[in-house]
């Protein structure tokens, strides 16, 4: 063990920015997105139509809202599989409040609040009791949706006010939907949070080595708790958008969405074991998944083929850099 | 960078392959949207829709649906159909309400929207096609029993639960038409709660209480199978005929053993055929959709709309030894 000489120059980055960018996952993903876009445009005469593309963004906007928070959570080495169930519970809570004549601002507040509470519940179980997040959230996945089923059974809440429809069916300007605006703002906000703040550095540090992070003075459990809160909040937001888009609540709302969210995050280059990943990657992955499902939908490809395609894409994109590295050795 | 080039050129090649079968624009494109792909019932409906397309000539059927039975999945499908500007959408809905905004958008853009099998709320579709109606079902279940009892005789009803809305309505409708079937004497109505074991015990009990029992009418797919098994186990095949509403796949054994002479349920092929015919009529011919209207649907006659713009296709379809083989693999 030799002592490190004092005053040795430590570079901020190990490679230059351009070098890193060229070899990055994000660029590969972007190339795939462009390729899929070109493919779609050639394969279907209906693809290059702004209104159609605008409709297509609904395929991923709500999932992506959750995916941003989920990306941070996975980078920190945790996961939340209860997000779709939180949507169901938050939507049920809003529908229930609706029966008492609560207006649009109140409904949104209740949706977001329910999401926060669910996130806090997950967070407490994981950080205070020290339980593995995958086990906890598989449990709360059944719990949250179970409550919705008990409340609603085979019934539905309907009759949301017209002003509430703005979130999931409204347009900000021309073809730009409210959801795509929320998605864009969140992309920037989460990008800044993860890549430009101390909090973001702490998330990476925890994901790479929680013990070392703790010894460096990072309040590991607090950061994790905040991440669960954030994921719950984003699920609540997705619940507001989805409920608004559907105009009704049923306990099966958003069923199975958690897997698509995790797929989006992993496709975006976030290491499922924690420690690395970027928000731009998740943004591009959201577009890739949206483009694939919409493009294949235009060709009337059966849904099962779409699932196979997404699965193959996921494995391909993950395996490709590894194979590339192996070939170079 | 070579990888990127390979990827892009590969994608371009694939695109060229797919691009060739560009849509034939002259055809009337009717989308048959189902709850989920890979379900025998809906595959059979598609067969019927294709039959309608062949009969009409210039129709292309787009058979599509999500992988799992979610409203969100169907909305993605609807959005892509709107984008393709299809002429009509005929949908069996996963959710009565959640599809309404998406289907409204489709109608706003000039697409004909009808629902069939599983309906959409009235504001989200132009009309709804029911496979049958309560009076038709009520009549059919007693007719099935009477057809095999020319001399008349004692029959009993094995229902689901005392609170099952559907079954109660059908039994009520059956009671109304009983005078049309002289000699048929309904001795009792029992409830198997749609549980196989309880239905089995109730059926066995019926045969013990009424030794002259000639038929058991079970208007529930669980009860009819259990009753048939009870008849086989009691050694009363040929004496007691089990009939009612059931699924061909589950009832094939009972037909084979003779415990059931015949039973009824809707025919998915006819349903798909009628849905396609109605979608074509609405989108191509100037049909007014209003309560009381009669809309032609090819070989299935015509659909009469009620106050909700709903209509019943036909009598439930009868399955017996002659056609069970064909249908048991379908649903």
Q: Are residues B273 and B184 in the same domain?
A: no
Residue from B97, B100, B103, B110 to probe the interface with A (highest A Cβ count within 10 Å): B97
For residue B60, the enclosing domain spans 10-131+268-313
Q: Are B272 and B32 in contact (CB under 8 A)?
A: yes
Q: Are residues B261 and B138 in the same domain?
A: yes
Residue B38: give its domain's CATH number.
3.40.50.2300
Distance, in Å, from the CA atom of B8 to the CA atom of A43, rounded to the nearest integer, reads 15
Residue B284 falls inside a structural domain: yes
pLDDT digits (tens, 9 = 90+) for B207-227: 999 999 999 999 988 899 999
Q: Which two tokens stand for residue A54?
A: 């605008």
What's B122's DSSP letter?
A: G
- B251's CB contacts (< 8 A; 6+ apart) are B224, B225, B228, B260, B263, B319, B324, B328
Domain boundaries, chain A: 46-324
State mean pLDDT over B87-91: 95
Give A42's contacts in chain B (Cβ within 8 Å): 12, 15-16, 18-19
Residue B320 falls inside a structural domain: no
Q: Are B35 and B94 in contact (CB under 8 A)?
A: yes
- A10's CB contacts (< 8 A; 6+ apart) are none
What's B160's DSSP letter?
A: S
- How many folded domains does chain B comprise? 2
Residue B211 falls inside a structural domain: yes
Q: Are residues B142 and B201 in the same domain?
A: yes
Instruction: Convert B124-154 to b/e letters by CB count within 10 Å (16 or more is b).
Output: bbbbbbbbbbebbbbbbbbbbbbeebeeebb
Query: Could you give the 3-state DSSP secondary structure of residue B159?
Result: strand
- A253's CB contacts (< 8 A; 6+ apart) are A87, A88, A91, A148, A239, A242, A243, A246, B71, B72, B98
Considering CB atoms only, which of B38, B80, B98 is closest to A248?
B98
Single out the residue of A83, A117, A82, A91 nearest to residue A251, CA to CA.
Answer: A91
State the ipTM, two decimals.
0.80
Q: Are residues B219 and B250 in the same domain?
A: yes
CATH architecture of A46-324: Orthogonal Bundle (1.10)
Query: Could you give the 3-state DSSP secondary structure of residue B246?
Result: coil
State mean pLDDT over A263-268: 93
Q: Are residues B186 and B206 in the same domain?
A: yes
Q: Are A282 and A33 in contact (CB under 8 A)?
A: no
Residue B169 falls inside a structural domain: yes
Average pLDDT, chain A: 90
B93 touches chain A (CB under 8 A): no
Q: Are residues B244 and B275 in the same domain?
A: no
Q: Are residues B110 and B172 in the same domain?
A: no
Residue B331 falls inside a structural domain: no
Q: Are residues B147 and B243 in the same domain?
A: yes
Q: Are residues B154 and B257 in the same domain?
A: yes
Confidence of residue B129 (pLDDT cuts 50, 70, 90): very high
Contact B76 A45 (CB under 8 A): no
Q: Are residues B64 and B87 in the same domain?
A: yes
> Which H helix or E strand runs over B75?
helix B71-83
Q: Are residues B216 and B139 in the same domain?
A: yes
Distance, in Å, from the CA atom of A316 to the CA atom of A214, rounded to the nearest integer, reads 36
Which carries the bigger pLDDT value, residue A324 or residue B191? Answer: B191
Q: Are A240 and A112 in contact (CB under 8 A)?
A: yes
- B239's CB contacts (< 8 A; 6+ apart) are B214
The residues that bridge with B113 in the sheet, in sequence order, are B89
Query: Could you give the 3-state DSSP secondary structure of residue A61?
Result: helix
Give B1's contacts in chain A (Cβ within 8 Å): 22
Lowest mean pLDDT among A9-13, A152-156, B5-9, B292-296: B5-9
B16 has a pLDDT exceeding 70: no
Question: For residue B84, what is the nearest residue in chain A, using CA coordinates?
Answer: A46
Q: Are residues B98 and B147 in the same domain?
A: no
pLDDT digits (tens, 9 = 90+) for A165-197: 999 999 998 889 999 999 999 999 999 999 999
pLDDT digits (tens, 9 = 90+) for A69-78: 999 999 999 9
Distance, in Å, from the CA atom of B331 to the CA atom of B326, rounded to the nearest integer, reads 10
């Amino acid at each position: 063990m030799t002592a490190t000489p004092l005053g040795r120059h430590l570079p901020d980055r190990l490679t230059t920015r351009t070098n890193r960018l060229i070899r990055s996952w994000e660029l590969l993903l972007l190339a795939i997105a462009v390729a899929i876009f070109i493919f779609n445009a050639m394969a279907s005469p209906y693809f290059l139509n702004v209104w159609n593309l605008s409709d297509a963004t609904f395929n991923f906007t709500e999932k992506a809202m959750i995916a941003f928070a989920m990306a941070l959570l996975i980078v920190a080495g945790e996961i939340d599989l209860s997000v779709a169930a939180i949507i169901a519970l938050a939507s049920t809570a809003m529908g229930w409040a609706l029966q008492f004549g609560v207006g649009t601002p109140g409904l949104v507040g209740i949706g977001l609040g329910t999401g926060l509470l669910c996130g806090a519940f997950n967070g407490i179980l994981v950080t205070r009791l020290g339980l593995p997040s995958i086990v906890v959230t598989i449990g709360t996945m059944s719990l949250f949706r179970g409550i919705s089923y008990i409340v609603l059974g085979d019934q539905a809440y309907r009759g949301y006010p017209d002003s509430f429809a703005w979130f999931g069916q409204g347009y900000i300007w021309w073809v730009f939907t409210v959801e795509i605006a929320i998605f864009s703002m969140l992309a920037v906000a989460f990008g800044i949070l993860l890549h430009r703040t101390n909090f973001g550095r702490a998330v990476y540090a925890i994901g790479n080595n929680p013990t070392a992070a703790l010894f460096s003075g990072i309040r590991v459990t607090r950061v994790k708790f905040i991440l669960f809160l954030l994921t719950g909040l984003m699920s609540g937001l997705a619940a507001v958008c989805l409920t608004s888009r559907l105009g009704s609540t049923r306990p099966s709302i958003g069923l199975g969405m958690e897997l698509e969210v995790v797929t989006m995050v992993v496709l975006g280059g976030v290491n499922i074991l924690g420690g690395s990943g970027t928000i731009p990657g998740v943004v591009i992955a959201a577009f890739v998944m949206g483009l694939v499902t919409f493009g294949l939908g235009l060709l009337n490809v059966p849904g099962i083929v779409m699932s196979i395609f997404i699965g193959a894409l996921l494995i391909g994109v993950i395996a490709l850099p590894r194979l590339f590295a192996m070939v170079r050795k | 960078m070579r990888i990127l080039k390979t990827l892009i050129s590969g994608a371009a090649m694939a695109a060229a392959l797919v691009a060739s079968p560009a849509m034939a624009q002259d055809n009337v494109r009717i989308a048959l949207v189902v709850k989920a792909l890979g379900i025998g019932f809906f595959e059979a409906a598609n067969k019927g829709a294709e039959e309608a397309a062949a009969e009409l000539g210039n129709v292309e059927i787009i058979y599509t649906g999500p992988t799992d039975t979610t409203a969100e999945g169907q909305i993605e499908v609807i959005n892509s159909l709107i984008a393709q500007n299809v002429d009509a959408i005929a949908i069996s809905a996963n959710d009565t309400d959640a599809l309404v905004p998406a289907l409204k958008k489709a109608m706003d853009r000039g697409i004909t929207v009808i629902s069939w099998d599983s309906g959409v709320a009235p504001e989200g579709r132009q009309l709804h096609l029911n496979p049958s109606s309560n009076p038709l079902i009520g009549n059919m279940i007693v007719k099935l029993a009477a057809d095999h009892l020319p001399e008349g005789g004692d029959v009993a009803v094995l229902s689901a639960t005392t609170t099952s809305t559907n079954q109660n309505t059908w039994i009520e409708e059956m009671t109304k038409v009983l005078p049309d079937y002289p000699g048929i004497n309904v001795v009792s109505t029992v409830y198997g709660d749609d549980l196989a074991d309880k239905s089995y015990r109730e059926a066995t009990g019926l045969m013990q209480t009424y030794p002259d029992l000639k038929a058991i009418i079970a208007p529930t797919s669980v009860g009819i199978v259990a009753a048939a098994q009870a008849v086989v186990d009691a050694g009363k095949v040929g004496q007691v005929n089990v009939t009612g509403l059931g699924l061909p796949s589950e009832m094939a054994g009972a037909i084979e053993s003779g415990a059931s002479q015949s039973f009824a349920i809707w025919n998915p092929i006819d349903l798909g055929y009628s849905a396609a015919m109605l979608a074509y009529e609405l989108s191509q011919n100037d049909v007014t959709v209003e309560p009381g209207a009669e809309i032609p649907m090819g070989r299935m006659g015509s659909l009469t709309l009620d106050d909700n713009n709903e209509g019943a296709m036909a009598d439930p379809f009868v399955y017996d030894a002659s056609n069970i083989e064909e249908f048991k693999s379908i649903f």
